[in-house]
A and B are shown apart, each in its own frame.
Chain A
Amino acid sequence: MHAAEFVALIPRLRRYARALVGDRASADDLVQDTLERAWARFHLWQRGTDLRAWLFTVMHNVNANRARALRVHSEFDEDAPEAQFRPAENGLLELRDLERALADLPVEQREVLLLVALEDMSYTEAAATLGIPIGTVMSRLSRGRERLRVLMHGPQAAVRLKRVK
C-alpha cells in the first residue's frame, strides 16, 4: 500500500522543502500540504511510474499556487543580466552563506538545482517533474549554479557562461 511509501519519503520531502523555502515551519507546512494534496489527487498518479517524482511534482504545484496566493510571484526574467551581487565576506564555503545565497536564487533555478544536485534526478526526470522542456532545465541549472558561485565568492569569480547549446 502506498501509505508506507509516502511515510518513507517524508524525510526526503522535508529536506528538499527546507532547502526550497528556507525556514523549518514553512517547509513542514509545504510537505503537509503536498501529502494532503497527493492523497486528494491520488487517482491522477499513474501506477508504475515513480511515486517520488510525482510527489515532487505535487510539491512544485503546491508551492507555485502558494506563491501566487501570496502575490510574491517571481518576476524573474531568465535573460536579464545578472547584476547586483552581494559578495560573501570571504571566499569560504560556509553552509550558512550557502543557505543565504540559495535563498537569493530565483525559485525556478533553486528547484532545478535541488532536484538535480540534492535529489539526484536525471535532467529528463527533472524536466518531467517540473513540466518544462529539458533545455529550460539546463539553462536554469547553469544559471543557478553560476549565480550561487558568484554569491558565495564575489563578482570577481564571474565568468561568461557558454551557451547551453
Chain B
Amino acid sequence: MDDVTETDLQAYVDGQLPEARRADVEAYLAARPEETSRLAAYRTQRDALRELHADVLAEPPPARLVHAAEGIRGAMRARLARWGLAAGWIVLGLAVGATAGWQLHAWNSPVARAAPGIARQAAVAHATYTPEVRHPVEVGADQEAHLVAWLSKRLGGSVRAPRLAGFPLVGGRLLPGESGPVAQFMYQNESGRRLTLYVRNEPGSGAETAFRYAREGKIGVFYWIDRSFGYALSGELEREELYAVASQVYRQLNP
C-alpha cells in the first residue's frame, strides 16, 4: 500500500489509473482523509476548468479563424512570400546595374498574373467545354481505360478519373496549358449539370496544399496540389456541395 505514488493518485483523479492499481489506491485513501479531500479538490478543479470557458465551445468561430483553418490566409501569405522573393530579385537586379523601373515591371507582372493560376484556367476550360452538346469530350467514358492511359501518357504521370456520387463520368479531353498538357474530365448528373476536374502537372512542388476556393462568375472552383499534380474541380454548385465533391475526389486519389 505504501508503494502508492503521486502518479497513481493523479491517474485516479483523471480516470487513467490501471484497473490493477485501483484496489491499492482505494485502500490507501481509506486510511487518509486528508489525501482523500485533496483528490476531491482536484476533481472539483477539473470540473471547474471544463466549465470555465465552456461557452467558447458553443460560439460560432470568427470568420478570420475559419479562413485560417481553410488555409485561405495561408494562400495569401504564400503569394506574399512570392512577392517577397520577387522583391529580392529586384534588389539583385539593381545591384547588377539594371534600371530599377524596368526590373520592377519585368518581375512584378508574371507574379501578379500567376496568382489565380489553375483556378482561373480551370474555370475558363469549364466554361468553354461544358456547354458543348455534341462534343463535350474527346474520348468518352465508354473508352475510359484508353482515356486514362492516353492522358497519363501525355501528362507524364499516373492520372486517374475518380468516381463521383451522382455524377457519372462523361469522358475527358486534353487541353494546352501554360506549362504543358492538361487533362480535363467531365461529369454529368441526371439533370444535365456538369462538373469538370482539371488536372495539370505541378513540377517541383511535391507538397500538399489546403483546399482553396475561388469563384469566376457563376463557376465555383476548389483547387489544391497533391504530390506532383494540381487539381481544380469546377462547377455551378453551391460552395458546400462542391466542397463535398472535391473531398470525394481527394479521398479517392489518396486511398
Do A10 and B210 have beta carbons less than 8 Å apart? no
Residue B207 at the A interface, CB < 8 A? yes
Interface status of B38 (Cβ within 8 A of chain A): yes
B5-A15 in contact (CB<8A): no
Is B45 interfacial (CB 8 A cutoff)? yes
Q: For the complex, is B51 an interface residue (Cβ under 8 Å from A)?
A: yes
Q: Do A1 and B250 contact each other (CB < 8 Å), given the known contacts A7-B69, A145-B45?
A: yes
Q: Does B56 contact A (CB under 8 A)?
A: yes
Q: Digitize B62-105: 1 where CB-to-A-CB distance is under 8 Å, 0 elsewhere.
A: 10111011110110010000000000000000000000000000
Chain B's interface: helix, strand, loop or mixed, by majority?
A: helix
**Smallest distance from the beta carbon of B42 to chain A beta carbons, Å?**
5
Partner among A11, A15, A35, A117 whose Cβ is within 8 Å of the Cβ of B68: A35
Q: Verify if B114 is at the interface (C-beta below 8 Å from A).
A: no
Confirm or deny: A122 has a beta carbon within 8 angstroms of a beta carbon on chain B: yes
A98-B48, A159-B34 known; A32+B57 contact, CB < 8 A = no
Mark contacts of B201-222 with chain A using CB atoms, 8 A cut-off: 1 yes-contact digit, 0 otherwise.
0000001111100000000000
Whether, in the assembled complex, B152 has its beta carbon less than 8 Å from a beta carbon of chain A, the answer is no
The stretch from B7-15, B142-150, B181-189 touching chain A is: B7-15
Indicate whether B112 reaches chain A with its CB closer than 8 angstroms. Answer: no
* B210:A28 contact, CB within 8 angstroms: no
Total chain B interface residues with beta-carbon distance under 8 A? 52
Binary interface profile of B, 1-25, with partner A (CB < 8 Å = 1, else 0)?
Answer: 0001111011101101000000000
Cβ of A18 within 8 Å of any chain B Cβ, yes or no, is: yes
| Smallest CB separation, B54 vs chain A (Å) | 8
Q: Assess whether A114 is interfacial by the CB under 8 Å rule.
A: yes
In the bound complex, CA of A161 to CA of B251 (Å): 51
Check if B7 sits within 8 Å of A165, measured CB to CB: yes
B13 proximity list for chain A (CB < 8 A): 145
**For residues 17 through 55 of chain B, which have their beta carbon under 8 Å from a beta carbon of chain A?**
34-35, 38, 41-42, 44-46, 48-54
CB distance from B25 to the nearest CB of A (A): 12
User: Do the beta carbons of A32 and B52 come within 8 Å of each other?
Assistant: no
Q: Does B61 contact A (CB under 8 A)?
A: yes
Contact residues in B for A122 (Cβ distance below 8 Å) = 16
The answer to the question of B246 belonging to the interface, with a C-beta cut-off of 8 Å to chain A, is yes
Q: Which of A137-165 contact B (CB under 8 A)?
A: 138, 141-142, 145-146, 148-149, 152-153, 157, 159, 161-165
A117/B50 contact (C-beta < 8 A), A1-B224, A149-B38 known: yes
* Pair B6/A1 contact, Cβ less than 8 Å: no
- Write out the residue numbers on chain A whose beta carbons fall within 8 Å of the beta carbon of B16: 122-123
Q: Mark A6-29, 1 if CB is under 8 A from B, else 0.
A: 110111101100110000000010
Report whether B59 and A11 are in contact in the complex, using a CB–CB cutoff of 8 Å.
yes
14 pairs, CB–CB < 8 Å, chain A vs chain B: A1-B211, A1-B250, A3-B69, A3-B211, A10-B61, A14-B65, A15-B56, A102-B49, A118-B49, A118-B50, A122-B16, A145-B45, A162-B9, A165-B7
Ranked 7 nearest A-B pairs via Cβ: A35-B68, A6-B69, A39-B74, A162-B6, A10-B61, A15-B56, A7-B69
- What 11 additional pairs, Cβ within 8 angstroms, besides A98-B45, A122-B16, A164-B6? A1-B210, A1-B250, A11-B58, A14-B61, A15-B53, A18-B56, A42-B208, A149-B38, A159-B34, A159-B35, A164-B5
